[in-house]
Amino acid sequence: MEKGTGMRGRLVGMQDQNGLTVGFDLDMTLIDSRPGIRATYLALAAETGVRIDADLAVSRLGPPLDHELAHWFPAERVPAVAERFRELYTAHAVAPTRAMPGAREAIDAVHRRGGRVIVVTAKYGPNARLHLDHLDLPADHLTGWLWAEGKAEALRAQRAAVYVGDHVGDVRGAALAGALSVTVPTGPIGADELRAAGADVVLDGGLPDFPAWLDGWLAARRDGPPAVAGGPGSGPGAEPDPAPGPAH
């Protein structure tokens, strides 16, 4: 599918009638949750007596918790252990977690332009809300427990024109939703792999590059042809994927 055409172009065009909505992933996009998640895994290991390599676990954040727990526990134990992890999380993970550089500024950039910010994450919703409140990240809407293509339903329901994430799963979810996929190489996936996965834009400098990119993208949409998903206006540090995105 050519960028800016078909479903993606139509949804991006909805911005003109319905106002700008930008979606963000949470872990390793808006927040660096590695210290808190590591502490929670260590607490879980101490309680269960099961060895968990917490450093390895936090090096591959992105997929749902159950995927990671399956590396350490028998399948029949995973649901109960996941529930216990979420209980331990509130005590161990919130305080050590920090906002990613540029996170608040990225959110403020959308709000200053009259837009809405939504957070769509694989994390358990109540725990995601704890992070947003603790770090004073003012999202207008939050949806949890959605991963990869599963995020598309929430993005479509909220009419998100842009989805910002750090994982190839975020790229797939944005593409299925018809949203522009803007990525930051601040998680486990590097910039080259994000481009290869079909990201429309890679902000090599992370979220600090987002406000300037957003200004450029909005200006290009205002002054140029309608519904061009990742065209001119990439902004400093932004590189559109040079090849057309995969067909869906």
**For residue 25, pLDDT beyond 70:** yes
104 pLDDT tier (thresholds 50, 70, 90): very high
Q: Side-chain half-sphere of 191: how many Cα atoms within 13 Å?
A: 13
* pLDDT on residue 3: 40
Report the predicted TM-score, pTM, of the whole model to 2 decimal places. 0.84
* pLDDT on residue 223: 83
* pLDDT on residue 18: 58
pLDDT digits (tens, 9 = 90+) for 53-77: 999 999 999 999 999 999 999 999 9
What average pLDDT is seen over the chain? 87
DSSP secondary structure letters along 168-183: HHHHHHHHHHT-EEEE
**For residue 154, pLDDT beyond 70:** yes
pLDDT digits (tens, 9 = 90+) for 72-103: 999 999 999 999 999 999 999 999 999 999 99
Cα dist. 118→127, 147, 156, 197, 211 in Å? 16, 15, 12, 23, 16
